[in-house]
């Protein structure tokens, strides 16, 4: 049976050799088919987890962090155990607890222990994915550090939980969000490899939106991506929208156009402004206001509204810079 000392020779509990069909190179090729772009991030994340390391993914929302993990764990056939970091994530919630009703009848025993996500991931050899890592309480993180360092965890009245070789801790955090967060200690950073994940380029985001929406209007996809990306470039916006905003903008605009009888442009590249109907640009404006107004966060010192900022972005895009969304 594999031990923790053998961990660097295992990916999912199987030995990795140069001619093994389940080698990291073969896994990478299969995982890449599920992704748009992210080749470098995939390489680095796969290298880290295949080497037996735990990883901190640092980046804004909507940058494919969970998509990467789902693709890897699905390909390897191991669980992805999701946990949301917040003030309520106590050590007991993370590790597990004894069923109160059974304790009254039977007293404490390993049989009436209800495993939490950490114990579940250790026993099944899964990836424990702790989102919003820097929102978890310090004592909870200390419990997690013990499991990371020892690959085992002593649970009172249960015994020692030994992690399977494929167990990993993957944490994520948004570096732009400081509300309700705590500063991670050097002990935490010392136990994690850190991978910075930023927004993808415009071409990759158009690919994501096109794949996720299935829309046959390249112009609408390009407009949705360009307008969403513009929210990240303004000084009056503290945090702009992720590509999820572009996906919703495109989907909502398509539905509005269908309801209002507005044809969607089908040009493979951006048409000259005179080819765009006022009805189409009005549809896009309404979709932008609906999809993005709750996703952007303004500089708190300014007296304006998300709707006003988005209308300015829309005007700049369609009236002042009509070629900004050119996908070709």
Task: Read off the CATH number of the domain in which 292 is found.
Answer: 1.10.8
Average pLDDT of the residues of the chain: 86
* Amino acid 268: pLDDT: 54
Domain limit, last residue, from 168, 196, 224: 196
Q: In this predicted model, what pLDDT tens digit does every residue of 182-232 receive, in sequence order? A: 778 888 889 999 999 999 999 999 999 999 999 999 999 999 999 999 999
Going from the C-alpha of 29 to that of each of 35, 46, 166, 184, the distances in angstroms are 11, 11, 20, 34
* Domain co-membership, 255 together with 288: yes
Q: What is the CATH number of the domain that holds 183?
A: 3.40.50.300
Among the residue ranges 51-55, 172-176, 223-227, 294-298, the one predicted with the least confidence is: 172-176
* Domain co-membership, 229 together with 302: yes
Number of domains the chain contains: 2
* Domain co-membership, 70 together with 157: yes
* Domain co-membership, 26 together with 72: yes
* Domain co-membership, 184 together with 260: no
* Domain co-membership, 76 together with 115: yes
- Residue 267 lies inside a defined structural domain of this protein: yes
Position of tokens 């702790």?
Answer: 130
Angstrom distance (rounded) from CA 184 to CA 145: 12
**pTM for this entry:** 0.80
**Residues β-bridged to residue 154:** 160
CB proximity list for 315: less than 8 A, separation 6 or greater: none
The answer to whether residues 312 and 249 touch, using CB atoms and an 8 Å cutoff, is no
């Amino acid at each position: 049976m594999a031990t923790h000392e053998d961990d660097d020779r295992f990916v999912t509990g199987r030995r990795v050799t140069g001619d093994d069909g389940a080698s990291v190179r073969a896994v990478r090729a299969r995982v890449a088919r599920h992704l748009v772009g992210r080749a470098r991030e995939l390489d680095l994340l796969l290298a880290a987890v295949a080497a037996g390391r735990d990883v901190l993914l640092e980046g804004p929302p909507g940058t494919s962090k969970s998509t990467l993990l789902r693709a890897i764990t699905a390909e390897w056939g191991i669980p992805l155990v999701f946990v949301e970091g917040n003030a309520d994530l106590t050590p007991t919630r993370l590790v597990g607890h004894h069923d109160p009703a059974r304790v009254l009848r039977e007293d404490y025993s390993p049989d009436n222990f209800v495993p939490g996500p950490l114990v579940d991931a250790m026993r099944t050899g899964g990836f424990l994915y702790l989102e919003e890592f820097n929102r978890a309480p310090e004592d909870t993180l200390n419990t997690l550090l013990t499991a990371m360092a020892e690959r085992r965890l002593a649970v009172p009245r249960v015994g020692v939980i030994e992690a399977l070789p494929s167990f990993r801790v993957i944490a994520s955090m948004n570096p732009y969000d400081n509300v309700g967060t705590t500063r991670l200690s050097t002990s935490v950073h010392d136990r994690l490899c850190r991978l910075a994940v930023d927004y993808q380029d415009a071409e990759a985001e158009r690919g994501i939106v096109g794949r996720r929406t299935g829309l046959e209007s390249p112009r609408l996809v390009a407009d949705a991506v360009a307008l969403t990306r513009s929210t990240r470039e303004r000084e009056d916006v503290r945090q702009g929208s992720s590509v999820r905003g572009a996906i919703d903008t495109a989907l909502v605009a398509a539905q509005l156009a269908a309801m209002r009888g507005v044809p969607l442009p089908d040009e493979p590249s951006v048409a000259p402004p005179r080819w765009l109907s006022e009805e189409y640009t009005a549809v896009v404006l309404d979709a932008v206001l609906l999809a993005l107004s709750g996703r952007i966060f303004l500089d708190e010192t300014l007296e304006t509204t998300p709707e006003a900022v988005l209308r300015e972005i829309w005007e700049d895009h369609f009236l002042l810079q009509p070629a900004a969304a050119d996908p070709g």
